[in-house]
Chain A
Amino acid sequence: MTIQANNLEVVYPNGTRALNPTSTFFRTGEFTVLLGASGAGKSTLLRALNGLVTPTRGAVQIDGIGELSNKTLRAHRRRTGMVFQQHQLIGRASVLANVLMGRLGYHASLRTLLPFQVKEKQIALDAIERVGLIEYALRRADELSGGQQQRVGIARALVQEPSLILADEPVASLDPASADRVLGLLHSICKDDGITAIVSLHQLEFAKRYADRIVALAQGRIVFDGTPAKLGKQEIARIYGTTPADAQDSPEEEMNLRTGTYA
């Protein structure tokens, strides 16, 4: 699925200008990584793409659906999976119940009062199997480790049978080893199923390893757009507001930058 942002601008009610008028285009099956310091506008751009944030100006254009509006919102969200930094699971509900939440978009409101169909539960179990958690299907979500919870988040996106996945810093709260596993899983699923993916990350290393394309934001503006190979020291410095010399001379700072703690 291709999705297009036309002059998208977001100003929050408190006056914060999170996104300056931005136009960009995401191609079918492409794995795009959004880079940028905290507050650069990554989350805002992602959330504008599925209407969790309403743009002040501009529009989102989706092929097969048209312009994103109140009318088209549910149809678009139904086939757009979202993976969140904090998993956003219900801790006391089972893994299966959390994953089934991804099916809600397929139900009429009142139909919701009846239990899920066996067929849908099977779709959910397939998704749980795919993320390698089948033996935990009936465990409470809060009994799982951080990496496992994030895999539940991915399964929840998968049961939507999505053509687009938006992931907002999906590995920011994980240790490096589980971060790599979770991101690798997300990447291989998107590639296998031909799902368009837009993933915001803090870690340059991961971005370079997995991205087909990197889009970098600084102060609510796109400052870089290209393949990982084109992302050099100069560009990195521009994204994070450091000078190229800093990036070169101080490996320690670059480390901080990778883990996302750089101020």
Chain B
Amino acid sequence: MALAESRHLTILADERRAAFRHASLAGAIGVVCIASLWITGFFDAERLLEGLPALGQLASEMVPPDFSRWQSWLRPLVDTLAMSIAGTVLAVAISLPLALLAAPNTSPNVFIQQACRVLLSALRSVPEIIMGIIFVAAVGFGALPGVLALALHSVGMVGKFYAEAIEHVDPKPLEAARAAGASPFQVITHAVLPQVLPQLADITIYRWEYHFRASAVLGIVGAGGIGFELIAALRIIRYDQVSAILLTILLCVIVVDGLGAWLRKQLK
């Protein structure tokens, strides 16, 4: 009896310690959050209050949106859509082989695997806007530098997600293929890829949706598309046109996301 009681007490003491640990962790996270808001000047009430009328002024200049130039936005919109698709195609073409080399179960050896992981991280860590500036400098204004920037940055992201999907395939069909005399390449084409294809398609379609939004931003550095019109309207301080373009982009994003969701459903 006494033994059982002392055992219970030990368990309760352990439980209290665990609860205290959780509470301290939550407290620490809370402190970091508040500190971040303070460092970035969020608690400077005076500045915020002064900013409000300016914000209101801008907002009032944005309505009513001015759609009068809509015809000259059509071509850039088509460009943006084409950029998003072309960027996705390029990203997939480069990501798939890199992912196969980076996934531990398909990579020929550890060195290649690590090298590909580092390469993917490196590509991921350069924002596409920076890539855009570099490629505009290299190949001039237009959609092409935009596509290259989107693709190269995305390889870092898409390659990582592909590699993770490949890493988690069921190893049993791989053994079955090997037992039937399949070469390492055949194991990949007939046992690995058939398992992960829906996931890869999912990742790709999400990336395409993202590319559409991102390519609007890339226009700002001269990489073609609707973003170019957006920055032009901002420069001449026509906020009514800015809001009209933003609404147009919003509509397109909704359409593209809907299309992506539909495609994903077809591939299930």
* Binding between chains A and B: yes
A interface, CB within 8 angstroms of B: 50, 52, 74-78, 80-82, 84, 86-93, 97, 101-107, 109-110, 112-113, 153, 156-157, 160, 166
- B179/A80 in contact, CB under 8 A: yes
- B185/A52 in contact, CB under 8 A: no
Shortest beta-carbon distance, A96 to chain B, in Å?
Answer: 12
In chain B, what residue has the closest Cβ to A74? B181
The interface centre, meaning the residue of A50, A81, A88, A92 with most chain B CB atoms within 10 A of its CB, is A88
B interface, CB within 8 angstroms of A: 170, 172-173, 175-183, 185-186, 189-191, 194-195, 198
- A93/B194 in contact, CB under 8 A: yes
Shortest beta-carbon distance, A144 to chain B, in Å?
Answer: 15
Q: A82-B180, A102-B180, A156-B180 are in contact. Are A89 and B190 (CB under 8 A)?
A: no
- A97/B186 in contact, CB under 8 A: no
Assembled-state Cα–Cα distance A238/B53 (Å): 92
- B181/A78 in contact, CB under 8 A: yes
CB neighbours of B189 from chain A (8 A): 112-113
Specify which of A78, A86, A104, A157 is in contact with B177 (CB 8 Å cutoff).
A104
Assembled-state Cα–Cα distance A75/B173 (Å): 20
Assembled-state Cα–Cα distance A157/B178 (Å): 12
Q: A78-B181, A105-B181 are in contact. Are A90 and B186 (CB under 8 A)?
A: no
CB neighbours of B181 from chain A (8 A): 74-78, 80, 104-106, 160
CB neighbours of B180 from chain A (8 A): 77-78, 81-82, 101-105, 156-157, 160
Q: A77-B181, A81-B180 are in contact. Are A101 and B195 (CB under 8 A)?
A: no
In chain A, what residue has the closest Cβ to B182? A104
Specify which of A86, A92, A153 is in contact with B194 (CB 8 Å cutoff).
A92
A to B CB contacts below 8 Å, 30 in the list: A50-B179, A52-B175, A74-B183, A77-B178, A82-B176, A82-B180, A84-B176, A88-B172, A88-B176, A89-B176, A92-B198, A93-B194, A101-B176, A101-B177, A101-B190, A102-B180, A103-B180, A104-B182, A104-B186, A109-B185, A112-B183, A112-B186, A112-B189, A112-B190, A113-B189, A153-B176, A156-B176, A156-B180, A157-B180, A166-B179
Specify which of B179, B185, B194 is in contact with A90 (CB 8 Å cutoff).
B194
Assembled-state Cα–Cα distance A93/B182 (Å): 17
The interface centre, meaning the residue of B181, B186, B190, B191 with most chain A CB atoms within 10 A of its CB, is B181
Assembled-state Cα–Cα distance A76/B181 (Å): 8
